[in-house]
Amino acid sequence: MCGIVGYIGDQEAYPILIKGLHRLEYRGYDSAGISLINNQGTLSVYKSKGKVSALEKSVEGKDISGTIGIAHTRWATHGEPNATNAHPHFSQSKNLSLVHNGIIENYKSLRAELEKNGMTFCSETDTEVLVQLVEYMMNSHRCDLYTAVQLALKNVVGAYAIAILEKSHPDQLVCARKGSPLIIGVGTTPSGRKEFYLGSDATPIIEYTNQVIYLNDEEIAIMDRTGRLDITNLSNVKQTPQLVTLQMNLDQLEKGGYPHFMLKEIWEQPAALRTCIRGRLNVVDKDVLLSGIIDHKDKFLKCRRIIICACGTSWHSALIGKYFIEEACKIPVEVEYASEFRYRNPVILPDDIVIAVSQSGETADTLAAIQLAKEHGAFLYGICNVIGSSIARATHTGTYLHVGPEIGVASTKAFTGQVITLCLLGLAIAKEKKTLPDELFHILVDELQQIPDKMQWTLENNKDIDKFAQMFTYCKNFIYLGRGYNYPVALEGALKLKEISYIHAEGYPAAEMKHGPIALIDEEMPVVVIAPKHGMYEKIVSNIQEIKSRKGKIISVVTQGDEVVRNMSDYSFIIPDTRDCFVPMLAVIPLQLLSYYVAISKGRNVDQPRNLAKSVTVE
């Protein structure tokens, strides 16, 4: 939800900011804007509706010089996506410009108060209220920008990451955060002085420096051209910045010859999962090592219930995690939509462990859910991909996915990374609790190790999905069915199709069909059935019969060598044999490819589907 970039140093800011916006475009892409102070001290703001490329066109021939600037790519919350509502926003005197990611919940009352004091507004956004409030504080308290930001933010309810330029002080950049992410990159100019970068995540920064500071909630930072960086909290108490070295390389942020990030990320899954299990799964000693479990063994031994909070695709992987942990560890697991959990007075008991699953580590609802659980004294475990993200930092311990940056809005490698991490977690807890017989534990360790190779096989043996997918270009509905471990895969397959092709799709537990949805089946309805040889094979075969007798078109995911379901199907995707509990990581691959190629055949923008953003930092 919105991306922020900033720069102050010796270099021209515009190319850095524009490149940064392109890297952050996955966070929001309905409008974009940039603000610069040139060497004559002019503070300019350029904004346009649409993608960053539209902004680039709109500034052709304009003065884009200057070595300090801020920029923004927007996912609209307050006010329709147009150039007026796009960021940066000017203050009334045009002495300040500001970009913001987050939501100011009390913006209406603040705006009314400011209007009473003679301030006028151009946009419908909550952000404009912020910049006007800062200016109002500067004027009414006769203070500098930094103090005014502190004063203003004390009056603000909501979430923000902000960056501000001041025309009359072109040598300094001020930023702050609460609830929305903001990272400061610290580089060195050729003359040996420090230069500073800002980013909503590390992607716009890594090209220039791997030294970063993750700003904490309610911290304000000021950077200037002399290399000064001061951070305080809202009460003006000085904070000591922690410099962190980023583990990321630029190649991970490029498409690497693929037409889309989504396709690249689908094909990256075997390598990504190998990285995820490296050092954690030991086939020689038949062991699983997760430091988050080893270091907090007592918590897991006395835990009576696990609650997993997540949203979207992460909720689907959490459901697979529930099935596995309950089976392997004999601990009851509840999977909660974070957005529901946070508002419904849930019962959280002293020995509960709450796990947050989130690729971005920034999803507002998931973050709020664990904050609530923390207030109730729960022990918090984070399963995140983005290192240093808010959820990773808000939890007591956790496990990173290490699947590399996921840029496509549709989650693919993060999903399988989450599933394999939850399997590792289940095995690590089972080891401590001794809930699995040794022989079975060893079989599961060996089998889990083979999953990346089996994913590779699946990718290489389902290469004609692109041609097959074209049959569904004009299709209006799809149903996805699975049972047991594959019910969440059905949900995930349906979500992937919906979000990038805009075709309506429903995922169901196969046996629930006859309680209603079977009425939808006719010769027009493609039904994707995940029907591996294990699990409830016979049962799912009868579900397929029920659909066939109502003339539904069957697209099945079958185990290699299963001719029975293959012969019953109009089309089949083949996966290698594996344990029932690990099938989701293989079965989801043809479904990811199917949704990708159907979306391509419809001419959709698969990496940036309409109305969506990669990281949902607003509720």
Q: Token pair for residue 480?
A: 């996805």
Nearest to ligand M6R of 195, 499 (CB atom) = 499
Distance CA 593, CA 13 (A): 39
Q: Token pair for residue 357?
A: 């699953």
Size of the site for ligand M6R (CB under 6 A): 16
Site string (404-443) toward ligand M6R, x via CB under 6 A = -----xxx--------------------------------
CA atoms 70, 74, 77, 82: torsion sign: positive
CA distances from 51 to 23, 84, 103, 180, 200 (A): 12, 15, 21, 22, 17
For the CA atoms of the chain, what is the radius of gyration? 26
Q: Can residue 366 be called a binding residue for ligand M6R (CB under 6 A)? A: yes
Report the nearest approach of ligand M6R to the CB of residue 338 (Å): 8
Q: Can residue 312 be called a binding residue for ligand M6R (CB under 6 A)? A: yes
- The window from 27-35, 223-231, 311-319, 420-428 that contacts ligand M6R (CB under 6 A) reads 311-319
Nearest to ligand M6R of 72, 614 (CB atom) = 614
The residue from 360, 416, 421, 501 that contacts ligand M6R (CB under 6 A) is 360
The residue from 166, 195, 336, 499 that contacts ligand M6R (CB under 6 A) is 499
Phi and psi at 252, nearest 5°, equal: -65, -15
Nearest to ligand M6R of 409, 420 (CB atom) = 409
The residue from 31, 358, 416, 592 that contacts ligand M6R (CB under 6 A) is 358
Report the nearest approach of ligand M6R to the CB of residue 361 (Å): 7
- The window from 76-84, 142-150, 305-313, 449-457 that contacts ligand M6R (CB under 6 A) reads 305-313
DSSP assignment of 266-332 equals HHTHHHHHHHHHTTTEETTTTEE--HHHHTTHHHHHH--EEEEEE-HHHHHHHHHHHHHHHHHH---
Nearest to ligand M6R of 414, 568 (CB atom) = 414
Distance CA 588, CA 490 (A): 8
Number of neighbouring beta carbons within 10 Å of residue 449: 15
Number of neighbouring beta carbons within 10 Å of residue 62: 10
Distant-in-sequence, close-in-space partners of 140: CB < 8 Å, separation ≥ 6: none
- The window from 201-209, 289-297, 308-316, 442-450 that contacts ligand M6R (CB under 6 A) reads 308-316
Nearest to ligand M6R of 180, 359 (CB atom) = 359
Give long-range contacts, CB 8 A cutoff, 24+ apart: 186-191. Answer: 186/211, 186/212, 186/213, 186/229, 186/243, 187/9, 187/211, 189/9, 189/10, 189/11, 190/10, 191/10
What order of strands is seen across the sheet that includes strand 553-559?
A: 504-509, 477-482, 526-531, 553-559, 571-575
Q: Give the orientation angle of helix 438-460 with respect to helix 413-433, to 10 degrees.
A: 170
* In contact, 376 and 307? CB cutoff 8 Å: no
* In contact, 207 and 198? CB cutoff 8 Å: no
Q: Can residue 363 be called a binding residue for ligand M6R (CB under 6 A)? A: yes
Report the nearest approach of ligand M6R to the CB of residue 4 (Å): 18
Report the nearest approach of ligand M6R to the CB of residue 207 (Å): 23
- Phi-psi region at 361: left, alpha or beta (left = phi > 0; alpha = psi -120 to 50): left
DSSP assignment of 549-585 equals TTTPEEEEEEETT-HHHHHHSSEEEEE----GGGHHH
Coil/strand/helix, residue 388: coil
Q: Token pair for residue 160?
A: 């923000």
The residue from 91, 180, 314, 462 that contacts ligand M6R (CB under 6 A) is 314
Nearest to ligand M6R of 48, 359 (CB atom) = 359
Q: Can residue 501 be called a binding residue for ligand M6R (CB under 6 A)? A: no
Report the nearest approach of ligand M6R to the CB of residue 368 (Å): 12
- The window from 293-301, 310-318, 447-455, 596-604 that contacts ligand M6R (CB under 6 A) reads 310-318
The residue from 313, 421, 595, 608 that contacts ligand M6R (CB under 6 A) is 313
Site string (97-116) toward ligand M6R, x via CB under 6 A = --------------------
Report the nearest approach of ligand M6R to the CB of residue 335 (Å): 14
Burial class (CB in 10 A: 0-12, 13-18, 19+), 112: exposed
Helices (H) and strands (E) in the chain, counts: 20, 26
- Indicate the residue whose CB is closest to ligand M6R: 312
- The window from 1-9, 10-18, 70-78, 353-361 that contacts ligand M6R (CB under 6 A) reads 353-361
User: So which residues are the catalytic ones?
Assistant: 2, 614
Residues 380-409 that bind ligand M6R (CB under 6 A): 409
- Whether cis (ω within 30° of 0) applies to the bond prior to 170 is no
The H or E element containing residue 365 is helix 364-375
Nearest to ligand M6R of 540, 618 (CB atom) = 618
The residue from 311, 335, 407, 422 that contacts ligand M6R (CB under 6 A) is 311
Interface residue list for ligand M6R (CB under 6 A): 311-314, 358-360, 363, 366, 409-411, 495, 499, 615-616
